[in-house]
Amino acid sequence: MRNILAAVWTAGALLVSAAEAQTNPVVVELYTSQGCSSCPPADELLEELAKMEDVIPLALHVDYWDYIGWKDSFAQPAFTKRQRGYARAAGHRTIYTPQMIVGGVDHVVGYKPMELAKLIEKHGDAAHPADLKIVRNGNSVSIRCNPFNTGPTPLQVQFVRYNPSETVEIGRGENAGRTFTYHNIVTEWSLLGVWDGTEPLDLSVAAPGDDPVVVLLQRPGHREILAAARVR
């Protein structure tokens, strides 16, 4: 498949892989649907992002297009709720697919790879106050982070798992008759608790199976993601 991000770079966009010089990966959330005819280019773009070590792309399939003839097999109402939360935080009245949220704060509606490239570079260059690490231990993961030097900073500790890839034949709706392979499909997103950053964070969480694990430290209210880590 054509490397979309490489094509963007060749065309003169800012280099997405500039984030490779950073130690803290940039989180990109894609809100998408199998029943959305505008989503395949964004889904392909997410596939290219999934090849980058310093970007954590996550596909959250929403359920609000299910009524037009095809029920998305990956969709969860909680993902629609999360997208609506981002809209409220940003003062937006409408949600869209496809839509990408970068670092918890920057919104990209539609297929705009050059705009996305600039945002990934911006977040990759930003200072990160947290040194978050996760380690897999059999059927569990250990989560550790050093205290902040800036005083109390309430952060939500969020736990994410995703399916690296799965192919789906679309039987009805706008994409009827087409077959797509989706990537980094979120299967679980849960809140482990709130950490104030004044004492070391030290958790052990059950994580059976081989699917990758992502941990995010995010400001409450669908705000900035200050740290992220992944184990595969």
When pLDDT is cut at 50, 70 and 90, the band that residue 6 belongs to is low
3-state DSSP assignment of residue 41? helix
Query: Tokens in use for 129?
Result: 């106050």
Average pLDDT, the chain: 89
Are the CB atoms for 101 and 31 separated by under 8 Å? Answer: yes
How many Å apart are CA 1 and CA 10, to the nearest integer? 16
Domain, as residue range, for 94:
4-231
How many Å apart are CA 45 and CA 57, to the nearest integer? 10
pLDDT of 66 over the 70 cut: yes
Structure confidence at residue 128 (pLDDT): 75
3-state DSSP assignment of residue 102? strand
pTM of the model: 0.90
How many Å apart are CA 189 and CA 225, to the nearest integer? 15
* Backbone dihedral angles phi then psi of residue 126, each to the nearest 5 degrees: -70, 150
pLDDT of 18 over the 80 cut: no
Pairing relationship of beta strands 106-109 and 99-102 according to DSSP bridges: antiparallel
* Total tally of structural domains belonging to the chain: 1
Q: Which residue has the higher pLDDT, 44 or 151?
A: 44
Tens-place pLDDT, residues 165-188? 999 999 999 999 999 999 999 999
pLDDT of 223 over the 50 cut: yes
Tens-place pLDDT, residues 110-160? 999 999 999 999 999 887 777 899 999 999 999 999 987 766 789 999 999
Tens-place pLDDT, residues 92-103? 999 999 999 999
Average pLDDT of the residues in 32-47: 97
Q: Which residue has the higher pLDDT, 19 or 225?
A: 225
Q: Any idea how long the chain is?
A: 232
Structure confidence at residue 150 (pLDDT): 65
Q: Which residue has the higher pLDDT, 10 or 62?
A: 62
Are the CB atoms for 85 and 217 separated by under 8 Å? Answer: no
pLDDT of 16 over the 50 cut: no
Structure confidence at residue 151 (pLDDT): 65
Q: How many CB atoms lie within 10 A of CB 149?
A: 7
Structure confidence at residue 51 (pLDDT): 95
When pLDDT is cut at 50, 70 and 90, the band that residue 69 belongs to is confident
CATH of the domain at 115: 3.40.30.10
pLDDT of 22 over the 90 cut: no
